[in-house]
Chains A and B, each alone.
Chain A
Amino acid sequence: MSVHVEVDMTSGVPVYEQVRTQVVAHVAAGRLRPGDRLPTIRALATDLGVAPGTVARAFRELELAGVVVTRRRSGTVVADDAAPAHVTARHAATAYVRAARAAGLTPDETLDLVRGALLT
Chain B
Amino acid sequence: MRLLLLPLLLLPLAALGAIAAAVATARTPRVPGSRTDVETSPTAYARARRHAAVVAGVSWAALVIVALALPQTIPTGPDQGIVLGCAPAVAGVLALLVAAVGERTWSRPADPVRRASLARRTVRDVTPHAPAVLTLAWSAALLLVLLATALTADTDDGRSVTVRHGADATSGAGPYPGTPYGVPIAASVALLLVAALLTLHLVATRPAVSHVSTTDDARLRRAGARRVLAAVQLVVGATLAGVLLVTGTSLRNASRSGYDVGEGWVESIDPVVDALGVAGLVAALVVLVATLVVTGVALTRASHETAPDRTSVVPA
Cβ contact within 8 Å between B109 and A47: yes
Contact among B37, B120, B206 for A75, CB-based, below 8 A: B120
Cβ contact within 8 Å between B118 and A26: yes
Bound-state Cα–Cα, A39 to B118, Å: 6
Bound-state Cα–Cα, A23 to B37, Å: 17
With A47-B207, A49-B109, A50-B28 already in contact, the answer to whether A7 and B118 are too (CB < 8 A) is no
Min Cβ gap B215→A in Å is: 8
Cβ contact within 8 Å between B118 and A48: no
Residues of A within 8 A of B114 (CB): 6-7, 9, 47-49
With A4-B37, A8-B112 already in contact, the answer to whether A46 and B118 are too (CB < 8 A) is no
Cβ contact within 8 Å between A46 and B207: yes
With A49-B28, A49-B35, A49-B110 already in contact, the answer to whether A43 and B120 are too (CB < 8 A) is yes
Min Cβ gap A74→B in Å is: 9
Residues of A within 8 A of B26 (CB): 42, 46
Cβ contact within 8 Å between B120 and A37: yes
Min Cβ gap A53→B in Å is: 9
Bound-state Cα–Cα, A43 to B205, Å: 6
Cβ contact within 8 Å between B28 and A39: no
Interface residues of B in 107-158 (CB under 8 A from A): 108-110, 112-121
Cβ contact within 8 Å between B120 and A4: no
**Secondary structure at chain B's binding surface: helix, strand, loop or mixed?**
loop
With A6-B115, A7-B114, A44-B116 already in contact, the answer to whether A39 and B30 are too (CB < 8 A) is no
Q: Mark A2-13, 1 if CB is under 8 A from B, else 0.
A: 111111111000
With A4-B37, A47-B35 already in contact, the answer to whether A39 and B206 are too (CB < 8 A) is no
Contact among B32, B118, B121 for A3, CB-based, below 8 A: B118
The interface size bin for chain A is 20 to 34
Bound-state Cα–Cα, A117 to B291, Å: 73
Cβ contact within 8 Å between A5 and B113: no
A52 on the B face (CB < 8 A):
yes
Cβ contact within 8 Å between B115 and A42: no
B86 on the A face (CB < 8 A):
no
A100 on the B face (CB < 8 A):
no
Cβ contact within 8 Å between A48 and B35: yes
Bound-state Cα–Cα, A10 to B34, Å: 13
Interface residues of A in 6-26 (CB under 8 A from B): 6-10, 23, 26
Residues of B within 8 A of A32 (CB): 118
Residues of A within 8 A of B208 (CB): 47
With A47-B208, A48-B33 already in contact, the answer to whether A42 and B28 are too (CB < 8 A) is yes
Cβ contact within 8 Å between B113 and A7: yes
Residues of A within 8 A of B119 (CB): 2-3, 39
Cβ contact within 8 Å between B28 and A6: no
Bound-state Cα–Cα, A10 to B111, Å: 10
With A49-B31, A49-B33 already in contact, the answer to whether A4 and B113 are too (CB < 8 A) is no
For the complex with contacts A42-B28, A49-B31, 19 further pairs of A-B residues with Cβ separation under 8 Å are A2-B119, A2-B214, A4-B115, A6-B114, A7-B114, A10-B113, A23-B118, A38-B118, A39-B118, A39-B121, A46-B108, A46-B205, A47-B109, A47-B116, A49-B28, A49-B35, A49-B207, A50-B28, A75-B120
For this complex, 18 residue pairs linking A to B, each with C-beta atoms less than 8 Å apart, are: A2-B117, A2-B118, A2-B119, A2-B214, A4-B116, A6-B116, A38-B118, A39-B119, A39-B121, A40-B120, A40-B205, A43-B121, A44-B116, A47-B35, A47-B117, A49-B31, A49-B109, A49-B207
Chain B residues close to A by CB (< 8 Å)? 26-35, 37, 108-110, 112-121, 205-208, 214
Closest 7 pairs between A and B when the two form their complex, measured CB to CB: A49-B33, A49-B109, A47-B116, A3-B118, A45-B28, A37-B120, A6-B115
